[in-house]
Chains A and B, each alone.
Chain A
């Protein structure tokens, strides 16, 4: 048996599994999306039909806001944690990355415990502000949930990038008379840009496709994954659900592909 033949043999099971359970099914979705009552117009309907367009815009805005806020929060906390050594620092880092493997449903439940009808925030706001703040089931609650699963992912990448920063650049800038703001604006933040793009794309793609959190918080929150789910199960509009899935997949994939083109590294989303 030649080596070349052996390596070819090694690839056969992988190609078989991925072809059968991913490539062929995805091609089928694309075909089904264009073969409903509307035909190929189902794809145009994602943008032309007001109800779908509103949901698409809603989801894009929510994912963008989540990304921007996660990046800002992770940068402030990440810079602090990498610049200072103090007792309890390791514990703090562990706490910030702990929810990394939580499924979306569990994140939704965390938000219910924080801002639901029996939630902590309501219990604290009642004596302090005179009213019970309950917002778990609104857009704010959903945003909070998205932040909950984005922050740990983003903070890991950003902290790793901060660790690799060249301290001599900063020293040089300071020696040349730059103040702390100028150093951050002109040296540190530009050097972190690849990490911002990479982790921002992951946060964005994950937020676009997140289903579990919206599902748990339920009620009438309009995001794309929930729309696909209701089109498929409640309205039995399978072609439209397929077309919307293709659209959602394309947006998420494009975000990651663009980020990769800009930052050069490999970028992937999960969850």
Chain B
């Protein structure tokens, strides 16, 4: 009796979980398929083609390139600015460090639209800056910075960074050498995890970018919104397919990396 009931509960939960997974995965598969189908309305029997992907490349190659440039630039800035800051915030501690950490984390709570509006109202008048891709970069840096700083700080609180630092200091190393030769190598897992986050988030950022872009500084997600509004379904799907191809390796890397880190801490 209980056995039957258990089996019923198991099957019910299994079907429910499958349905949720289908809800998330089926539309993504549909869009990948639509991107390589001759005519989505007639369906797969109209044949497979790469013509839509080629068309996307001709129409939007510049947006793809620009997205990569902005993502890598955001990574460079968050590395150079964020990693030393994470170290300083960790070793200093105290109220000031907490307030700084609180403020740099705010962009995670404040909607992107509001941040974009703020940047427009403040810097919209500087037309050279406004028109260049650096304007978008400023928004992406604000949005991704907390992910870098927090993921590096998480490593510092897991390892005993103060002892390492003091050990190196007692051997006579200067603060800069200690940072370069002791702190950064030890922070590597956090730096790597933060970097993957920054690049993934920047490549997909839309809320800020839609407000900050100009017709000459479109990024991939901006181009996607464009194609959803004005292109045939097959082209929009092919463009989405290109985006998936870019983003999925990053997601897989993040997953594998998180798994291996989890196992390491579990072993400890």
Please report A residues at the B interface, Cβ cutoff 8 Å.
Answer: 1-3, 6-11, 13-15, 17-18, 21-26, 28-29, 32, 73, 76-77, 79-81, 84, 92, 94-106, 108-114, 118, 120, 147-148, 151-152, 180, 205, 208-212, 215-216, 218, 225, 228-229, 232, 238, 241-242, 245-246, 248-249, 252-253, 255-257, 266, 268-271
Contact = CB atoms under 8 A, between A and B. Distances in A.
A32 B247 CA distance: 38
A148 B111 contact: no
B175 A1 contact: yes
A106 B240 contact: yes
Interface in B1-18: 9-10, 13-14, 16-18
B108 interface: yes
Contacts of B175: 1-3, 6-7
A211 B210 CA distance: 10
Name the 8 nearest CB pairs between A and B, nearest first. A209-B111, A25-B118, A6-B175, A14-B85, A10-B84, A10-B88, A245-B114, A110-B27
Nearest to B226: A105
A29 B85 contact: no
B9 to A, nearest CB: 8
A95 B21 contact: yes
Contact of B92 (A7, A13, A211): A7
B41 A26 contact: no
10 contacts: A96-B20, A96-B21, A104-B206, A106-B204, A109-B228, A114-B26, A114-B30, A211-B113, A266-B150, A269-B109
Contact of B41 (A1, A112, A118, A208): A118
Contact of B85 (A13, A101, A211, A269): A13
Contacts of A114: 23, 26-27, 30
A17 B81 CA distance: 8
Given A96-B20, A98-B24, A241-B117, A248 B210 contact: no
Nearest to B143: A270
B245 interface: no
B119 A21 contact: yes
Q: Name B's interface SS.
A: helix
Contact of B224 (A23, A26, A105): A105
B27 A111 contact: yes
B122 A18 contact: no
A114 B100 CA distance: 44
B121 interface: yes
Given A109-B31, A253-B106, A99 B221 contact: no
Nearest to A4: B92
Given A109-B236, A242-B121, A14 B23 contact: no
A259 to B, nearest CB: 10
A73 B17 CA distance: 8
Nearest to A2: B175
Interface string B83-116: 0110111011000000010011111111111110
A103 to B, nearest CB: 4
Contacts of A22: 103-104, 106-107, 115, 118, 142
A120 B27 contact: yes
Contacts of B123: 25
B23 A101 contact: no
B201 interface: yes
A209 B207 contact: yes
Contacts of B80: 13
B132 interface: no
Contacts of A6: 175-176, 179
Contact of A1 (B105, B113, B146, B174): B174
A246 B146 CA distance: 21
A101 B201 contact: yes
A80 to B, nearest CB: 4
Given A113-B34, A209-B111, A253-B109, A18 B121 contact: no
Contacts of B16: 76-77, 80
